[in-house]
A and B are shown apart, each in its own frame.
Chain A
Amino acid sequence: MTIKTGDQESPEDSTSRADPKPSVKSPPPPETPAAVQTRFRVIAAFWAVIIFLGFPIWWKTTSIYRASLPIEEMVDWAGGKPFWQACRPVFPLDIHLATPSMQSADAQHLLRTTQHTLDDLNEFAAHHLRLKLANDSASDYGEGDLGADASGEVADTALTVRLLPQENLLGPRSELHAAATQLDVFYPPNQVPAPSSWNSPLSTYIAEELQGLYGEEKATIAHILHTAGLASTSPQLAEDISRRLRRSMKYAETYHLSFSLFTPGSRPSSWDIEAAVNEYVSPLLKALSPISDFTVDTQVQLYANFAPTAPKPEFDESEAAWTLKKEDLSAFVNAAEWPLNPSIGSGPTINFILYVPEPSQSPLIVKENRASSWIVPQWGGVFLLNPTLSNDKTGESNPAHLSQDSLGPAFMTFSHQLLTLLGTPSTPASLPLRLQTSIRVRAATLLLSASSTMGSLASLTESLPSIPIPATVATSVSTTLSHLSSTCSHLREGRFGAALASARVAETEAERSFFEKSMVGQVYFPDEHKVAVYLPLLGPIGVPLVVGLLKEIKRIIAGRKAKRAAAS
């Protein structure tokens, strides 16, 4: 409608009205050549604007910029399963064998036989253990460095096995350090394998021990890489692994940890949270820093009631405690009223709730197993803290302040829950070893995820030729691809820390390129819709312009013909 009104005043119409015929009896005077000339100029003026300004603007603003992407390489990375054409991830773990009290030749022989046995036992070629003799046995074992030397050219040492002779032993015996990447193997001196034999109880023992240590990791990686199940993986272990993967959070560059103290009454109203976090959580976060970044925030919420629909705790005479049924635990967190921030900034939040029941319901425990804590899968953990009640004239009451000591058990539990939520395997017992496993598992996950994102992006850009591809996407893609290949080469050389660092960059860049906002704007915009965009406005404007142009051309042609006829 607006366009119509605009056109009514457009000069072509006006010029066509410029020669009105007064009546039939007296024919209108013929148009003067000057009037014809003027009309021609008017039409030319409009078309000049369209051709010299309109078309360049149309071309400039509606052309779709598509940066060229290395489609083939991207498809190679995503490749068909079971494995990629571009990279075959392998996990060679370097294990140092420290033999302080053994002849070098003996040690070499033991190494060879053990490696042989290991290779025999191993059935998942991508993940294998490489034994090496620790040449300077006194140096670096004991420190779980977790691949801190990411840039180093040397492969990370996964584990140091120290062989210690001990008298009065019937068979070899091992001991894993809980806080270090070190396995002490005690053996009776007489079991050192003879140079002639290819098999000895000691080497078999070491091989089996190592196999046991890395069994879960191997199964997990096989699971992630979708290799056919390992024959040796027991159904029990497979179940454990998939359960753990279900429970753990999706990988994120940054996690937000939120520690909350909830209590239904007015006390306790303060807690030694800073000291507790420094004491129990910070060291763990430092150890986890190669895997993800963490932020910590805390809150205290008083008068936090259960949801009205949630089942109330019941008093159990036999336990002399208030109990919650196991099946009711899912309703424990009052998600509607408790101010638990679903996410702070980008990245998921892991919630840890410390719940102090009111004195009339203390102590509060879980009915079935007398536990006081549980994990909410992919969300966080809950701990029921039953502090010693103090008696004063108003009756029993909670302490007003929770000291660091009373928070100790809760925060030990929280750090354990954090490890579980991050998908750290439950075995072996040594924490550094578990974190190393975590690094490898994460690297494998990210490698897989980033390369499949690349594949999706490649097929997206190929199947939708109308979407724009900004230059930033091309940059992100090339960064991703280079980091993917460096991840792969780091993995091949056993530098898992560096591999994870590269994989993290690759994943971030891959996500950024895939979720680039300006790309998806036109996804649901097929070419046919352009008619609907252009016609309503440009149609009404264009018709008089085109008709005017055609009339002028006709007139010019007729004039030429008449001239030619007159000439001949």
Chain B
Amino acid sequence: MSTTPSSRNTMKDRGIVVFGAAFVLRLLLTCLFPALPDLLTGRVEVSTPVNSFKRLQEGLFLYTRNVSPYDGGVYHQAPLLLPLFALLPDAKSSPLPTAIFYFLVDLLNAYALLKISQSGQSVKSRLHTAVRQHVRWDGVSVAAWFLFNPFTIATCLARSTSVFTTSGILFAVSNAVGGNSVNAMLALGFASYLSLYPTLLFIPLVLLCYDIRAQGPNPPKIGLYVVQHAGLLLASIAGLLGLSCLITGNFWEFISATYGFHLLVPDLTPNVGLWWYFFIEMFDSFREFFLGVFWLHLASYVGGFTVRFQRQPLFVITSLLGVFAVFKPYPSISDASLFFAMLPLYRHLFPLMRYTFFAVSAILYSSLLGPAFYHLWVYAGSGNANFFYAITLVWSLGISILLADAVFAALRDEWEQQNPDQKGAEVRQV
């Protein structure tokens, strides 16, 4: 990439415009439609039991009155969020400071994304260079895709605490591509501490860090490098848990109310995922077994993807984020928005994708019909749970197709790179 100073300046200006516009758009939405944040907060597509702002308010209420926040059985989020939000003014009487805080977190996430894009890791890593490496968007466009994605805006306005997990993941990646592996592990530790599932990203992330490190002088041994970073991750999680313990006092209560809740999925409130309906229908005696199956299913992709795409670890992270958006226990549209934020980094793969139209229409179809069917089921009473579940299936199908298509395109890209003479040849399944 050769950028002249003038083009760098225009990029900077564009960046300021995009970030400013995103901020103003959010501010306008909040001010013009004061009911919108609360409406979004109550939507099952946006707020799940593990990221709902309403539940955070409940926990905060108990916390500020010196009662254990987990006593009511409503709050299931990490305890460190409580002192953070206790600093902000009450969201009920003066919602703007909280809202602006969330806007800023969104902008920070976009900035991390911009950094990732600028590093160029998505097109050219240590062991792999994409065939169409010049077909790409610059960092500002990628950030704009994230900032103006309606799912991101909805998540931000609903003040879902998933945005902090998103920050943790994005900063972990941006630090990793920037060569700062220690900060990457700390950020991943923060994300894992908040939501548990980002731990699964450890292996691809540490490979990514190693790739960057190996480009420098005298690279360390990979085994030792992985162990060191695992230690770092564990230390950061342990530190955060220790802090939480100081806040809540009762260690086991907090563990079982947060991570136990993630693992055992006791709350079957509908969401856009696949777990709730399945576990409503499941025989009680098989519940534990299928919990294991679902979690293993989620985790099993880590190994396969990492082995297959060991030459582009950033793509492993991207595709795993797609898997999480579909198969994690309490998914919301914020998980999908994170996946959609990472996809534009792979602009060079788009020409190789075959089902984009189908995937995009499935996603649009479900995002429009989902709220309607939920209304029919819960409020109008003229539908039943299957209505909404069918829509969540379509939603998951849409994301899965997009993901599978991206994976296919990446494989095709690798193959073309190995067989340059076959570039553009027609694809035929055998």
Residues on A lying within 8 angstroms of B by beta carbon are 1-2, 5-6, 8-12, 14-15, 17-23, 28-29, 32, 38, 41-42, 45-46, 48-50, 53-54, 57-58, 60-62, 468, 521-522, 525, 533, 537-538, 541
Q: Please encode chain B, from 267 to 291, with 1 for each CB lying within 8 Å of some chain A CB and 0 for all others.
A: 0000000100010000111101110
On chain A, the residues within 8 Å of B288 by CB distance are 60-61
Query: Is there contact, CB below 8 Å, between A23 and B303?
Result: no
A7 vs chain B, min Cβ distance (A): 9
Contacts of B428 in A (CB 8 A): 20-23
Q: Does B250 contact A (CB under 8 A)?
A: no
Q: When chains A and B are docked, how far (Å) is the Cα of A60 from the Cα of B429? A: 41
CB within 8 Å for A45 and B304 given contacts A9-B400, A23-B426, A525-B283: yes
Q: Which of A5, A8, A23, A54 is in CB contact (< 8 Å) with B296?
A: A54
Note all chain B residues with C-beta closer than 8 A to A15. Answer: 308, 411
Stretch of B15-23, B60-68, B153-161, B401-409 lying at the A interface: B401-409
Q: Would A2 and B396 be within 8 Å (CB), given that A8-B404, A22-B425, A42-B308 are in contact? A: yes
Evaluate whether A18 and B411 lie within 8 angstroms (CB atoms) in the complex, with A11-B305, A46-B304, A541-B297 already known.
Answer: yes
10 A-B pairs whose Cβ atoms sit less than 8 Å apart in the complex? A6-B400, A11-B308, A17-B408, A19-B430, A22-B427, A23-B425, A45-B304, A49-B296, A54-B292, A521-B284
Contact, CB under 8 Å: B307 / A41 = yes
Distance to closest chain A CB from B142 (angstroms): 23
A29 touches B323 (CB 8 A): no
Name B304's contact: one of A11, A22, A23 (CB within 8 Å): A11
A14 in contact with B411 (CB, 8 Å): yes
Return the chain B residue nearest A32 by Cβ.
B418
> How far, in angstroms, from A533 to B293 measured CA to CA in the complex?
13
In the bound complex, what is the Cα–Cα distance between A189 and B361 (angstroms)?
Answer: 115
Q: What A residues does B400 contact at CB under 8 A?
A: 5-6, 8-9
User: What is the minimal beta-carbon distance from A523 to any residue of chain B, in angstroms?
Assistant: 11
Q: How far is the CB of B358 from chain A (nearest CB, A)?
A: 12
Question: Given the complex of chains A and B, what is the CA–CA distance between A17 and B426 in angstroms?
Answer: 13
Please indicate the chain A residues that have their CB under 8 angstroms from the CB of B292 in the complex: 53-54, 57-58, 61
- Shortest B400–chain A CB gap in Å is 4
Q: How far is the CB of A555 from chain B (nearest CB, A)?
A: 15
Chain A hits for B143, CB < 8 A: none
Q: Is the CB of A537 within 8 A of B293?
A: yes
B419 within 8 Å of A (CB atoms)? yes
- 8 Å CB contacts to A: which residues of B315-359? 319, 322-323, 326-327
List residues of chain B with CB under 8 Å of any chain A CB.
Answer: 274, 278, 283-286, 288-290, 292-293, 296-297, 299-301, 303-308, 319, 322-323, 326-327, 393, 396-397, 400-401, 403-404, 407-408, 411-412, 414-415, 418-419, 422, 425-430
Does B326 contact A20, Cβ atoms closer than 8 Å?
Answer: no
Q: Looking at the assembled complex, report how far the CB atom of B65 sits from the nearest CB atom of chain A, in whole angstroms.
A: 33
Besides A12-B304, A29-B419, A57-B293, 13 more A-B contacts (Cβ < 8 Å) are A5-B326, A9-B323, A9-B404, A10-B304, A11-B301, A11-B307, A14-B404, A22-B428, A45-B300, A46-B303, A49-B300, A58-B289, A61-B292
Most buried by A among B292, B393, B419: B292
Interface centre among B306, B323, B415 (most CB of A within 10 A): B415
Taking a contact as CB atoms closer than 8 A, the residue among A23, A45, A521 that contacts B307 in the complex is A45
Q: Are A54 and B293 in contact (CB under 8 A)?
A: yes
CA distance A270 to B194 in the complex (A): 61
The reply to whether B274 and A2 contact each other, CB–CB distance below 8 Å, is yes
**Which of these, A6, A11, A20, A45, contacts B415 with CB under 8 Å?**
A20
Pairwise interchain contact A22-B422, C-beta atoms closer than 8 A: yes
A49 contacts B407, CB within 8 Å? no
Nearest-neighbor residue (CB-CB) of B322 within chain A: A9
* Residue on A nearest B394 in the bound complex, by CB: A1
Q: Using Cβ atoms and an 8 Å threshold, which residues of chain A touch B300?
A: 45-46, 49-50
Tell whether, in the assembled complex, residue B290 and residue A537 are in contact, meaning their CB atoms are under 8 Å apart.
yes
A18 to B412: give the CA distance in the assembly, Å.
7
- In the complex, the answer to whether A2 meets B411 with C-beta atoms within 8 Å is no
Distance in angstroms between the alpha carbons of A58 and B303 in the assembled complex: 20
Q: Contacts A5-B401, A9-B407, A533-B283 given: A42-B307 contact, CB under 8 Å?
A: yes
Cα A50 to Cα B137 in complex, Å, equals 40
Closest chain A CB from B395 CB (angstroms): 10
Distance A17 CA – B428 CA, assembled complex (angstroms): 9
With A14-B411, A45-B303 in contact, do A20 and B286 touch (Cβ < 8 Å)?
Answer: no
Q: Are A38 and B401 in contact (CB under 8 A)?
A: no
Q: Cβ of A541: which chain B residues have Cβ within 8 Å of it? A: 297
> Which chain B residues border A538 with CB–CB below 8 Å?
293
Question: Which residues on the A side are within 8 Å of B297 (C-beta)?
Answer: 6, 541
Interchain CB contact under 8 A, B303 and A57: no
Closest CB pairs A-B (n = 7): A22-B425, A45-B303, A57-B292, A5-B400, A61-B288, A9-B404, A11-B304
Q: How far is the CB of A361 from chain B (nearest CB, A)?
A: 49
**B304, B403, B412 — most chain A CB neighbours (10 Å):** B304
Closest to A24 in B: B428
- Give the distance in Å from the alpha carbon of A541 to the alpha carbon of B418 in the complex: 31
Question: With A23-B428, A537-B293 known to touch, is A48 a contact of B323 (CB < 8 Å)?
Answer: no
**Chain B residues, CB < 8 A from A18:** 411, 414-415
Which residues from A are CB-within-8-Å of B403?
A: 9
Q: Which B residues are CB-close (under 8 A) to A62?
A: 285-286, 289
Cα A54 to Cα B292 in complex, Å, equals 7
A residues within 8 A CB of B322? 9
Q: How far is the CB of B198 from chain A (nearest CB, A)?
A: 19
Interface core residue of A2, A15, A57, A521 (most chain B CB under 10 Å): A2
Instruction: Give A398 to B28 CA distance when docked, in angstroms.
Output: 74
B285 in contact with A17 (CB, 8 Å): no
Bound Cα distance from A38 to B322, whole angstroms: 22
Asked whether, in the complex, the Cβ of A20 is within 8 Å of the Cβ of B393, the reply is no
Chain A proximity of B27: nearest CB distance (Å): 38
Are A533 and B422 touching (Cβ within 8 A)? no
Q: Are A14 and B415 in contact (CB under 8 A)?
A: no
**CA of A46 to CA of B296, assembled, Å:** 10
**A29 CA to B419 CA, complexed, in Å:** 8
Residues of B within 8 Å of A50, CB to CB, are: 296, 300
Q: Which residues of B contact A10 (CB under 8 A)?
A: 301, 304
State the CA gap A12–B411 with chains docked (Å): 12
Contact (Cβ within 8 A) A14 B422 = no
Distance, CA A9 to CA B318, complexed state (A): 13
Instruction: Give the distance to chain A from B68, nearest Cβ to Cβ, in Å.
Output: 29
- Is B396 in contact with A5, judged by CB distance below 8 angstroms? yes
Residue of B nearest to A10 (CB): B304
Q: B397 touching A5 by the CB < 8 A rule?
A: yes
- CA distance in complex: A147, B19 (Å): 88
Contact A20 B430 (CB under 8 A): yes
**Cα distance A62–B404 when bound, in Å?**
33
Interchain nearest-CB distance for A14 vs B (Å): 5
Docked-complex contact B401 and A8, CB < 8 angstroms: yes
Complexed CA–CA distance, A54 and B293 (Å): 7
**Among candidates B289, B303, B307, B408, residue contacting A61 with C-beta atoms closer than 8 Å:** B289
Of B285, B327, B396, B430, the residue contacting A21 (CB under 8 A) is: B430
B430–A49 contact, CB under 8 A? no
What CA separation (Å) do A62 and B412 show in the bound complex? 42
Residue of A nearest to B294 (CB): A537
Per the bound structure, the CA–CA distance linking A14 and B429 in Å amounts to 11
Q: Chain A's nearest CB lies how many Å from the CB of B430?
A: 5
